[in-house]
Structure 1
Amino acid sequence: MEKIVVTGYGIKAPGIHNKEEFKEALELGICTMDILKGLGPNDADIVAGIIKDDFLTIKGKNYKRYPRVSRLAIQTADDAIEMAKLVGIDPSRMSVVVGTATGGIKEIEENAALANDIKKYPIHGLNLADPHTVSSAVAAHLGITGQVFTITTGCAASSDAISLGKLLLESRQTDVCIVGGADASLGKWSIFGFSKLRQIGLNKRIGETGVPFSHAHRGFVMAEGAGMLTLERESDAIRRGATIYGVIEGVHSNNDGLGMFQSDETGYGMYKAMKSAIKKNIPTYVNSQALGLASNDQIESFVHERLFGQSVPITSIKGMFGHTFGAMGAIQVISSLISIEHNFIPPTLLTKGEGFEELPIVFETKHCPVDNVAITTHGNSGNNTCILIGKY
């Protein structure tokens, strides 16, 4: 089957506006987290990954009525299209697949009090509650009239968007697929929810929570972010003289099949997904979703030790930017593409690997040839999606 390749990408993350800033943060190991004041229970502060821009106007168009998640997706898709130098493509042969975990939850929360007064109810209220408006907004902005899908499989959403985009291209249902994810959930509904589950820390300093691979710390760091990629068939990319940044060599997704209050802590679901994604390949390293939650990070450890032992390094970029929910898989793919292009493995920040001493964790930037990278993502309610991204 023909190779599916990446010809462009866009990134918006805490403290990150473009590829150059992302590359610098990854290579130098820069933590861009911040303190979000007073939004936790009893006005507590939380450590968070915050994007300072509003993106109310994009290419001269006013998007102030659109939820923040859509604005992030639109701006990032614009960057991906520009990087890919896509011009003159039939818009009916282009597709959009965007993953999101929380959609417009921030704006729904902000407008909830108006729901009891029809005079004050916002004209765009229904659209805020429809997560598909994220993908349709991207398509409308770019003038794309082909297939448009929204994936809502939690934190695996953008990885699953990449999987669907690959399938659409392989089956020749489309010629160009804009895929990725976006989330902007830094509101009280999400913060209170994760606080209730005791999964985020309150009134902590940066470095005291959201520490990957550490039994000495608790909780993860919530973050905003978006990552979008332009996917094409290899022959089409070559025909138009595009620069190819990487190959989607393998993707596999499965589900634990458990209820909303349960999760498979054995790690076998993720193990099967990773094994199917990499097939017989051995990655240069694993770009892990480890984010500071004990059960999540333990699954990562189980899968890695069972498949690779000490032979393959493992790292997590969550200690730099926090966890961007449904956007994280695409952001991990983009970080891996930069790693492949510039020959380095980014470090896992903040941790000393307490309790994970058997894992070959990369604590300092490692400069070396990078041929391919395996990526892990977990979604709420049991989705496990792994990707193998390779050098072209």
Structure 2
Amino acid sequence: MKKQRVVITGMGMITPLGNNVRSSWKGVVEGCSGIGPLTRRDATNFPTKVAGEVKNFNSVDYLKAKEARKMDRFTQFAVVATLEALKDADIIIGENINPERVGVWIGTGIGGMETYEEQFRKFYEKGYKRVSPFFVPMMIPDMASGQVSIMVGAKGITTCTVTACASGANSIGDAYKVIERGDADVMIAGGAEAPITDMALAGFSSMTALSTNPDPRTASRPFDKNRDGFVMGEGAGILILESRESAVSRNANIYGEIVGYGATGDAHHITTPAPGGEGGARAMTIALQDAGLHPEDVDYINAHGTSTYYNDLYETQAIKSVFGEHAYQLAVSSTKSMTGHVLGAAGAIEAIFSILAIKKGVLPPTINYETPDKELDLDYVPNQARQANVQVVLSNSLGFGGHNVSLVFKNYA
């Protein structure tokens, strides 16, 4: 069976840096922080006081009010980012693409948590008759993919991956393989998350995973010695993956090519990565083998880089184990320093930043990097973006449960 080459022809995103790709990328290049005071919930209830909130997002600016009311916030993000991505790709399903050859694969970490909390309060206070009939379809994680499929008319495989913070990256990798093996011509792929809710904040605070630094300018500080936890973010990232044959036939704009996908399990612990990043190292190795590339071919790694002690340490150790001396020649940065950690959407948002790093020749920075940690001694592109000739990027995503994902993108030629 001939493997299809898979390219990226469209992108859409909503992040704490902006409500589209253009403004989000501008924020990254300028080293801006999308993190601010926690306003979506009562901050006095939690030890964490900051969040990467999406700003000035009103669903009715993009969707009919009747439709928006039937969607949780994470689904709204997914739908709006998809509309941007399809427009960017110049795809109108049913006109220039066969609907049966278009699939949807959108992941999420915790799905409609906001809807669950709101409806439970109604049930607790007023009984079951006051619970919305749309409660279940608004809450379940697969509804981002389902609503996107319905709204744009995609009739191919429509599914959802839930692998915690690796969900978006897994979804892109699995969608890539659907096209590679010839089961679809186009896949709408990525992740969406809206986790800034009382119970999500309570749960992550209880496990002491969130930063308690009250200064939004410095709370998210991946690879810095004084890192003290991640900052919760929200948003969505959607890629239009397309077979090269389909893209060329319709003279589409091609941003880059996805060439490698590695996924592994730690089999170690529900929240802490395996010592030395062993599982993440295997995911990177598998992704490079899938791409037919050598470690020295990689120019830049968009790290998972959560700003937690063990993640940043073990991911650095994993990179060293895979890349050897080349680890000190390539650039490594965490855009979570600017967006916060968008959980199941993080891998998709970071995939877009990775592709734009290639297309624009810019290495995104790790902002808030002030105090080096002697155990973390790679080039983390501190504080300012850097011009560079970027040909190959590897993007890492790691999730609770021991999920490890690496994606490899390269310049299209």
Alignment TM class, shorter chain as reference = over 0.9
Once structures 1 and 2 are overlaid, which stretch shifts more, 70-79 or 266-275? 266-275
Once structures 1 and 2 are overlaid, which stretch shifts more, 103-112 or 277-286? 277-286
Q: Is residue 100–residue 151 contact of structure 1 (8 Å, CA) maintained in 2?
A: yes
Task: Give the aligned CA root-mean-square deviation in angstroms.
Answer: 1.7
Deviation at 1:296, TM superposition (A): 0.6
Letter in 2 for 1:215: K
**Cα separation, 2, equivalents of 1:249 and 1:353:** 36
Q: Is residue 69–residue 183 contact of structure 1 (8 Å, CA) maintained in 2?
A: yes
Deviation at 1:168, TM superposition (A): 1.0
Deviations 1:301-326 (A, max 9, x none): 10222223311111111111111111
Deviation at 1:109, TM superposition (A): 1.1
Tell me if 1:102 matches 2:110: yes
Deviation at 1:201, TM superposition (A): 2.8
Structure 1 match to 2:98: 90
Deviation at 1:43, TM superposition (A): 5.4
Q: Is residue 50–residue 224 contact of structure 1 (8 Å, CA) maintained in 2?
A: yes
Deviation at 1:266, TM superposition (A): 2.7
**Cα separation, 1, equivalents of 2:61 and 2:216:** 32
Structure 2 match to 1:304: 319
Letter in 1 for 2:14: K
Once structures 1 and 2 are overlaid, which stretch shifts more, 17-26 or 74-83? 17-26
Deviation at 1:261, TM superposition (A): 5.6
Pick aligned residue for 2:120 from 107, 112, 127:
112
Q: Secondary structure at the match of 1:349?
A: coil
Q: Is residue 189–residue 241 contact of structure 2 (8 Å, CA) maintained in 1?
A: yes
Equivalent residues in 2 for 1:174-323, closer than 5 Å: 174-202=184-212, 204-260=214-270, 263-279=273-289, 280-281=293-294, 282-306=297-321, 307=323, 308-323=326-341
Structure 1 match to 2:377: 358
**Cα separation, 1, equivalents of 2:138 and 2:64:** 22
Structure 1 match to 2:26: 24
**Cα separation, 2, equivalents of 1:311 and 1:278:** 17
Once structures 1 and 2 are overlaid, which stretch shifts more, 60-69 or 149-158? 60-69
**Cα separation, 1, equivalents of 2:251 and 2:358:** 21
Tell me if 1:384 matches 2:411: no
Structure 1 match to 2:6: 4
Once structures 1 and 2 are overlaid, which stretch shifts more, 110-119 or 54-63? 54-63
**Cα separation, 1, equivalents of 2:132 and 2:87:** 34
Pick aligned residue for 2:81 from 65, 72, 76:
76
**Cα separation, 2, equivalents of 1:10 and 1:3:** 21
**Cα separation, 1, equivalents of 2:286 and 2:47:** 43
Pick aligned residue for 1:165 from 175, 185, 188:
175
Q: 1:261 to 1:19 in 2, by over 3 A?
A: closer
**Cα separation, 1, equivalents of 2:31 and 2:142:** 35
Q: 1:165 to 1:31 in 2, by over 3 A?
A: same
Q: 1:189 to 1:201 in 2, by over 3 A?
A: same
Structure 2 match to 1:50: 53
Pick aligned residue for 1:326 from 339, 344, 356:
344
Deviations 1:87-114 (A, max 9, x none): 3212111100001001001111122122
Equivalent residues in 2 for 1:35-46, closer than 5 Å: 35-37=37-39, 39-40=42-43, 42=45, 46=49
**TM-score of the superposition, structure 1-length normalised?**
0.95
Once structures 1 and 2 are overlaid, which stretch shifts more, 15-24 or 256-265? 256-265
**Cα separation, 1, equivalents of 2:309 and 2:376:** 15
Deviations 1:337-389 (A, max 9, x none): 11111111011100135214521221122111111111110011010000111
Give the fraction of aligned pairs with identical amino acids, expressed as a percent. Answer: 27
Q: 1:262 to 1:323 in 2, by over 3 A?
A: closer
Q: Is residue 186–residue 241 contact of structure 2 (8 Å, CA) maintained in 1?
A: yes
Q: Secondary structure at the match of 1:119?
A: helix
Tell me how many residue pairs correspond in the alignment: 392
Q: Is residue 40–residue 192 contact of structure 1 (8 Å, CA) maintained in 2?
A: no
Letter in 1 for 2:409: I
Tell me if 1:132 matches 2:151: no
Q: Secondary structure at the match of 1:95?
A: strand
Deviation at 1:63, TM superposition (A): 1.1
Deviation at 1:207, TM superposition (A): 3.6
**Cα separation, 2, equivalents of 1:300 and 1:318:** 14
Gaps spanning 5+ residues in structure 2: where?
Answer: none
Deviations 1:184-215 (A, max 9, x none): 00011110111101111346111442210022
Q: Secondary structure at the match of 1:266?
A: helix
Letter in 1 for 2:34: T
**TM-score of the superposition, structure 2-length normalised?**
0.91
Once structures 1 and 2 are overlaid, which stretch shifts more, 350-359 or 16-25? 350-359
**Cα separation, 1, equivalents of 2:208 and 2:44:** 12
Deviation at 1:44, TM superposition (A): 5.1
**Cα separation, 2, equivalents of 1:45 and 1:325:** 17
Q: Is residue 77–residue 138 contact of structure 1 (8 Å, CA) maintained in 2?
A: yes
Q: 1:285 to 1:318 in 2, by over 3 A?
A: same
Q: 1:373 to 1:263 in 2, by over 3 A?
A: closer
Q: 1:353 to 1:312 in 2, by over 3 A?
A: farther
Once structures 1 and 2 are overlaid, which stretch shifts more, 223-232 or 262-271? 262-271
Q: Secondary structure at the match of 1:229?
A: strand
Q: Is residue 93–residue 174 contact of structure 1 (8 Å, CA) maintained in 2?
A: yes
Letter in 2 for 1:382: G
Which one has the bigger helix percentage? 2
